[in-house]
């Protein structure tokens, strides 16, 4: 692996790469972290043309950017592009954090899983140990969070998907998780869960995955990886369907950013004030 020292000495220009990306809160999150830690940096949102992601990244690096977050739809392309991968990025087969650690090395990392777990455990006081966890969706978002969820020792973890074959494929790609299963959304009717995570893209089209009634255990937490200024349609449905709490992915967004910040600067910023500022909309 390349020496991080060289990376940290260089001028700090960063970006989030996506399409669309103008709505991204990452610039204000990283700027807030930098103010807290007394670090000088620039961080901008850059929309790249999907057809030229790799060339776009190489041009930005040539222009002096030393690190980038990657969001929809480029996380898998970033995984392919990286010369070196952390273990967690390798497992996720997706990269949300790029570090240009030397002239010819691009290092790829994935901080989404740790971001979710920190939001659940520290911010929401939810421990997955001895619980029943349901993850809805079997795309890239699920891939990014599945290993840390397995590692958090739930009694059972189920991936349910509209297309069940994709849920089975995803499960098979991970190291034989104990008490893990994959199924179709409709096959959930006999189970209840303490944590239900929406990792589908359904919110983007204003839809709720077609789930049976009665999937929430008493005190269940519904968690949507998506976030919006108003409660998402999934969270509204979940409260109607019996969830005790319903939380969007804003906390995860800030926590994954904090982990990327650590990767780049070796400083751990405080996340609570940033989450609170974003929640209040006073940014």
Active-site annotation, residues? 75
Pair of tokens at residue 81: 């592009």
**Angle ∠(87,201,122) on CA atoms, nearest 5:** 55
The nearer residue to ligand ATR, 146 or 216, going by C-beta atoms, is 146
- Residue 179 per-residue DSSP state: T
Place of tokens 């303490």: 194
Nearest to 88 by CA among 110, 66, 108: 110
Question: Residue 215: which of 244, 173, 252 has the closest Cα?
Answer: 244
Buried b (16+ CB within 10 A) or exposed e, 227-251: beeebbbbbebbeebebeebbbbbb
Task: Give start and end residues of each alpha helix (H) in 82-192.
Answer: 87-92, 112-118, 140-151, 164-172
Number of residues that bind ligand ATR (CB under 6 A): 14
Token pair for 14: 């960063």
Distance CA 150, CA 177 (A): 7
Stretch that binds ligand ATR, among 7-15, 196-204, 234-242, 255-263 (CB under 6 A): 196-204
Residue 6, token pair as written in the block: 């060289």
**Nearest approach, Cβ of residue 83 and ligand ATR (Å):** 23
Give least dist CB 75 to ligand ATR, A: 7
Instruction: For the segment 55-74, give every residue that binds ligand ATR (CB under 6 A).
Output: none
The 131-170 site mask, x for binding ligand ATR (CB under 6 A), equals: ------xxxxx-------------------xxx--x----
Give yes or no for residue 183 binding ligand ATR (CB under 6 A). Answer: no
| Residue 211 C-beta: closest distance to ligand ATR, Å | 9
Rounded least distance, CB 94 to ligand ATR, Å:
8
**Interface map 200-239 toward ligand ATR (x if CB under 6 A):** xxx----x-x------------------------------
* Minimum CB distance to ligand ATR, residue 70 (Å): 12
Residue number of the CB closest to ligand ATR reads: 139
User: Number of helices and strands (H, E) in the chain?
Assistant: 11, 12
- Point out which residues bind ligand ATR (CB under 6 A): 137-141, 161-163, 166, 200-202, 207, 209
């Amino acid at each position: 692996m390349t020496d991080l020292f060289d990376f940290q000495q260089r001028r700090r220009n960063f970006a989030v790469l996506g399409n669309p990306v103008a709505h991204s809160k990452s610039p204000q999150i990283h700027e807030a972290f930098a103010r807290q830690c007394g670090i000088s940096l620039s961080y901008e949102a850059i929309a790249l043309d999907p057809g030229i992601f790799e060339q776009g990244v190489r041009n930005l690096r040539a222009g002096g950017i030393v690190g980038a977050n990657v969001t929809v739809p480029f996380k898998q392309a970033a995984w392919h592009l990286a010369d070196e991968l952390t273990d967690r990025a390798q497992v996720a087969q997706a990269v949300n954090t790029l570090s240009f650690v030397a002239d010819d090395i691009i290092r790829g990392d994935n901080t989404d899983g740790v971001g979710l777990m920190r939001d659940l455990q520290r911010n929401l006081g939810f421990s997955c140990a001895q619980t029943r966890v349901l993850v809805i969706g079997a795309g890239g978002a699920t891939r990014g969070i599945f290993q840390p969820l397995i590692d958090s020792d739930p009694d059972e973890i189920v991936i349910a998907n509209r297309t069940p074959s994709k849920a089975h494929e995803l499960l098979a790609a991970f190291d034989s998780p104990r008490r893990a299963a994959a199924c179709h959304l409709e096959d959930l009717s006999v189970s209840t869960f303490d944590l239900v995570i929406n990792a589908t893209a359904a919110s983007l089209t204003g839809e709720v995955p077609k789930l049976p009634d009665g999937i929430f255990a008493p005190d269940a937490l519904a968690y949507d990886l998506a976030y919006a200024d108003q409660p998402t349609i999934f969270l509204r449905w979940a409260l109607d369907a019996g969830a005790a709490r319903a939380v969007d992915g804003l906390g995860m967004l800030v926590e994954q950013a904090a982990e990327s910040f650590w990767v780049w600067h070796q400083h751990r910023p405080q996340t609570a004030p940033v989450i609170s500022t974003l929640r209040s909309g006073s940014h």
